[in-house]
Amino acid sequence: MLTADSGAFVASSTRFEQLRAREFSRLDAGGHTYLDYTGSALYPDRLVADHATMLRSAVLGNPHSESPASLASTALIGEARARVLRFFEAEPDEYVACFTANTSGAIQLVGSAFAFGTDAPLILSVDNHNSVNGMREHAARAGAPVHYLPLDADLRLHDVASRLEVLRQTHVGAGLVAFPAQSNFSGVQHPLALVRKARSLGYTVLLDAAAFVPTSPLSLREVPADFVVCSFYKMFGYPTGIGVLVARREALHRLRRPSFAGGTVEYVSVQHGTHLLRDGAEGFEDGTANFLAIGAVVQGLDFLDEVGLPSIKRHTSRLARRLADELRALTHRDGAPLVRVYGPDDHYDRGGTIAFNVLDGRGRVVPYDMVERRARTERISVRGGCFCNPGASETAFQFVPDRAALCLDETRRAGWSLLDFAARMRERDASHGVGAVRASFGVPSNETEVERLVALVRGMR
C-alpha cells in the first residue's frame, strides 16, 4: 500500500527522472554515470538554449562606456546583481554582489584586503578548501596569528562555539573566521549558527558556500554572514568563469584593497600618483566583467528556484544516504568490510557527497587511483584524491604528524607527486589511505547511477 511518505517519494523521483530525460538526456545517450557535482554541476539543455537565444538577439558591448550596447550590458549586470541578492534573501540595503571569476577569486578579494594584524587573527576550520587555506598567507604577511578549529573523528567541527569564545579572550581586535557551509570532502554541513556566534564575538565571517548552495537553500536573512562566496558552474553547470562575493556593505567598506585595476576606479592620475576607488561592488570587480555570460546567471538561478532547492536537497541527500548505506554493507567473503566511508555514520546535517575507500581482504586501502581507473572504463565520473581539502583529508586518513612530515619531505625532494606521497605513506602503514574516492549528487542523479557505482565497487572484491 502506498503511504503518504512513499507517495511523495515516488512523485518526487518521477519528477527528477522527467527532468533528467528532458534536460540532461546526453547522460543516458552517452552511457554516462556522472557523480562529480561537487566538482561541477551539469547544465540543463534549456539553460544553454535560452542563453543562446538571448545572445542572438542582443547587442552587448563592453560595459565601461555610455553607448547603447554598453548600457545594455550594464543593465544585464545590474539585473544579475539583483537576482543573486534575491536568490540568497540578502537585503539590498545591507548586501552587495561583486562578480568574480570563481569562488577562489572571491575569497582572494577578502583575504588580500582584510585588516589582519598581530591582534586580528585568521581563524579557519580544519575542514576548508585550499582557496580558503590560502588566506593564511595574507594573514602571516601581516603578522596575524592563524588558528584552526579542529574536527572530530567523524569530520564534524568539534565544540566549536566554546573554542571560539576561548580564542576571543586571546586578542583585543577582531579577526576573520572562515569556514565552509558544506565540506567538499565529506558532505558534512557545518552548523550555520556559528555565523551568528562568531559575529556576536566581534568577528567578521566568511562563509564558503561553494559546496553547499548547489543543493541546499541559503538565506542571508537567517545566516547573516559578512561574506558569502560561491561559483555558478557548481550550482547549474554554466557558465564557467563567474563567481560571486556577496558582501555585507559595512564589511566590504572595511576592506582595504591592495591595488586597483581598470573598472574599479573613478579616476587615476599618473601625474599625481593618486586614484579614487569606486564605491561598493564595482571597486572590487577588476577589469571587464564577463558581460556575455552573465545573463545565464539569471537564467540558471531561475532554473534552480523552479526545481526548488528544498526538493533538490531531499533528492541528493536521499541518493547519498543510499550509496553510503550500500557501500557500508559490502563485505569480503569472510565478512570483513569492503569499503570505508569517511565522515559521520548518521545522515543528519549532511549533503549529497560521499567520500570512501575500497579495502582489500587484509583491510589495506586500495589506492584511490585504481578505483578511479576502473570507474573510467565504465564511464563513471567520480573524483579521486584529496579534493583540495588537506585538513579534512589528514583527519579522515588519521595522518601521524611525524610520519606525514617525513613522507612530505622525501616526496618534495624527489619531485612532488600525490601518488608517490601516497605510496610512501602506504609503505609505512597500509591500513590508512592517502586520497579517497568522492561521489556527489545533483539534480539529474538517479538510483541507477547509485547501483552502477555500488556494482563497480562490489566487483573489486
Ligand X SMILES: Cc1ncc(COP(=O)(O)O)c(C=O)c1O
State the minimum distance, in angstroms, from the CB of residue 267 to ligand X.
31
At 57, list the grid cell.
538577439
State the minimum distance, in angstroms, from the CB of residue 95 to ligand X.
20
- The residue among 175 and 243 lying less far from ligand X, judged by its C-beta, is 243
Task: Check: CB of residue 182 under 8 Å from CB of residue 211.
Answer: yes
Instruction: Decide if residue 210 touches ligand X (CB under 6 A).
Output: yes
Tell me 67's DSSP state.
S
At 411, list the grid cell.
616526496
Choose which of 102, 133, 317, 393 interacts with ligand X (CB under 6 A): 102
Tell me 94's DSSP state.
T
Tell me 188's DSSP state.
B
State the minimum distance, in angstroms, from the CB of residue 289 to ligand X.
17
Choose which of 73, 74, 108, 184 interacts with ligand X (CB under 6 A): 184
Can you tell me the distance from the alpha carbon of 423 to that of 433, in angstroms, rounded to the nearest whole number? 10
Please choose, out of 207-215, 219-227, 310-318, 451-459, the segment that lies near ligand X by the rule CB under 6 A. 207-215
- The residue among 74 and 233 lying less far from ligand X, judged by its C-beta, is 233
Active-site residue, from 98, 230, 386, 388: 388
Inter-helix orientation angle 68-87/294-307, to 10°: 30
Choose which of 23, 36, 50, 208 interacts with ligand X (CB under 6 A): 208
Instruction: Decide if residue 231 touches ligand X (CB under 6 A).
Output: yes
DSSP H helix total and E strand total for the chain: 18, 15
State the minimum distance, in angstroms, from the CB of residue 211 to ligand X.
4
Instruction: Decide if residue 251 touches ligand X (CB under 6 A).
Output: no
Can you tell me the distance from the alpha carbon of 139 to that of 133, in angstroms, rounded to the nearest whole number? 11
Site for ligand X in 48-67 (CB under 6 A): none
Over the window 411 to 440, marking each residue x when it contacts ligand X by CB under 6 A and - when it does not, the resulting string is ------------------------------
Angle of CA points 447, 448, 451, to nearest 5°: 90
Radius of gyration, CA atoms only, the chain: 23
Site for ligand X in 295-354 (CB under 6 A): none
Q: Which of 372, 429, 379 is nearest to 403 (CA)?
A: 429
Please choose, out of 42-50, 98-106, 271-279, 442-450, the segment that lies near ligand X by the rule CB under 6 A. 98-106
State the minimum distance, in angstroms, from the CB of residue 189 to ligand X.
12
State the minimum distance, in angstroms, from the CB of residue 202 to ligand X.
25
Determine the size of the site formed for ligand X (CB under 6 A). Answer: 13
Instruction: Decide if residue 108 touches ligand X (CB under 6 A).
Output: no
At 141, list the grid cell.
604577511
Instruction: Decide if residue 180 touches ligand X (CB under 6 A).
Output: yes
Contacts 24+ apart (CB under 8 A), 375-378: 375/437, 375/453, 375/456, 378/33, 378/452, 378/456
Choose which of 33, 104, 317, 381 interacts with ligand X (CB under 6 A): 104
* Residue 388 falls in the annotated catalytic set: yes
Q: Which of 411, 415, 414, 412 is nearest to 423 (CA)?
A: 411
- The residue among 33 and 182 lying less far from ligand X, judged by its C-beta, is 182
Determine the 3-state secondary structure of 286 from DSSP.
coil
- The residue among 35 and 425 lying less far from ligand X, judged by its C-beta, is 35
Determine the 3-state secondary structure of 252 from DSSP.
helix
State the minimum distance, in angstroms, from the CB of residue 130 to ligand X.
8
Please choose, out of 96-104, 271-279, 284-292, 434-442, the segment that lies near ligand X by the rule CB under 6 A. 96-104
Q: Is 226 exposed, middle or buried (0-12, 13-18, 19+ CB in 10 A)?
A: buried
Examine residue 239 and say whether the peptide bond preceding it is cis (omega within 30 degrees of 0).
Answer: yes
Would you please indicate which residues are annotated as catalytic (active-site) residues? Answer: 388
Write out the residues near ligand X by the rule CB under 6 A.
Answer: 38, 102-104, 129, 131, 180, 184, 208, 210-211, 231, 243
